[in-house]
Amino acid sequence: MDLAAEKRRLRAEALGRRTAMGDEARAEASRRAAANALSAIGPVDGRTIALFASFRDEIDTAPLADALRRAGARLALPVIVARGQPLRFRLWESHATLAPAGAYRIPEPGPEAPQVTPDVVLVPLAAFDRRGFRIGYGAGFYDRTLQILRQENTVQAIGFALACQEVSAAPAEPHDEPVDMMVTESEIISCARAR
């Protein structure tokens, strides 16, 4: 089996289901997923939580960001340094203006924002399975980043997505870094990290 082709197929199917939800259903699901994520993360006062800026029709992270800020978390967003490199995280203050950057034009804090090391990383994805393996968007940024963070520090990686993005089994390659937990609008799935 060609793993790359299988990943492309599963990614396309999961993203098709996500798009088919429509804006209203996705917004409601995002609010429910935010409540689940807050419960899954636990106490956040003073902790640094890395979110992601929602892109296209991804799960909306704004409801979770608002809830985390109210609970006392420090928020960070990823910054793409270069292709093939791990992500960096910059502090995301509530008043900060985010600017689209890089080839993907994903909003991120400016270079004046301090670089931080997160305690928890919310990971975007195209598809996931219950083992914690995920299919990203193909560039490997989060796999490289999680590998380094796990070597340097204790970090909790949480996949954050819509339930419709689940697949029975995401093909796993040696470089793939599974998440510790998956959170959707329907449930919190604890994943035993498979290595």
Q: What is the mean pLDDT of the chain?
A: 93
Beta bridge partners of 88: 79
Report the range of poorest mean pLDDT among 100-109, 126-135, 180-189.
Answer: 100-109
Query: Is 195 a domain residue?
Result: no
Q: How confident is the model at residue 13 (pLDDT cuts 50, 70, 90)?
A: very high
Average pLDDT score over residue span 161-190 = 96
pLDDT at 104: 75
Query: Is 185 a domain residue?
Result: yes
Query: Is 161 a domain residue?
Result: yes
Residues with Cβ within 8 Å of 10's Cβ and at least 6 positions away in sequence, in order, are 126, 127, 135, 167, 170, 171
- Structural domains in the chain (count): 1
Average pLDDT score over residue span 180-193 = 92
Please indicate, yes or no, whether the overall pTM of this predicted structure exceeds 0.75. Answer: yes
Q: Which domain holds residue 127?
A: 3-190
Q: What is the CATH number of the domain that holds 165?
A: 3.40.50.10420
Distance of CA 192 to the CA centre of its chain: 18
| Strands 48-50 and 120-123, sheet pairing | parallel
pLDDT at 100: 84
pLDDT in tens, 28-56: 999 999 999 999 999 999 999 999 999 88
Query: Is 144 a domain residue?
Result: yes
Asked if residue 193 has pLDDT above 90, the reply is no
Q: Which residue has the higher pLDDT, 128 or 56?
A: 128
Query: Is 15 a domain residue?
Result: yes
pLDDT in tens, 70-114: 999 999 999 998 888 999 999 999 888 888 887 778 889 999 999
pLDDT at 109: 93
140's tokens: 């490997």
Asked if residue 181 has pLDDT above 70, the reply is yes
Residues with Cβ within 8 Å of 109's Cβ and at least 6 positions away in sequence, in order, are 77, 79, 90, 91, 92, 93, 96, 98
Query: Is 57 a domain residue?
Result: yes
pLDDT at 195: 43
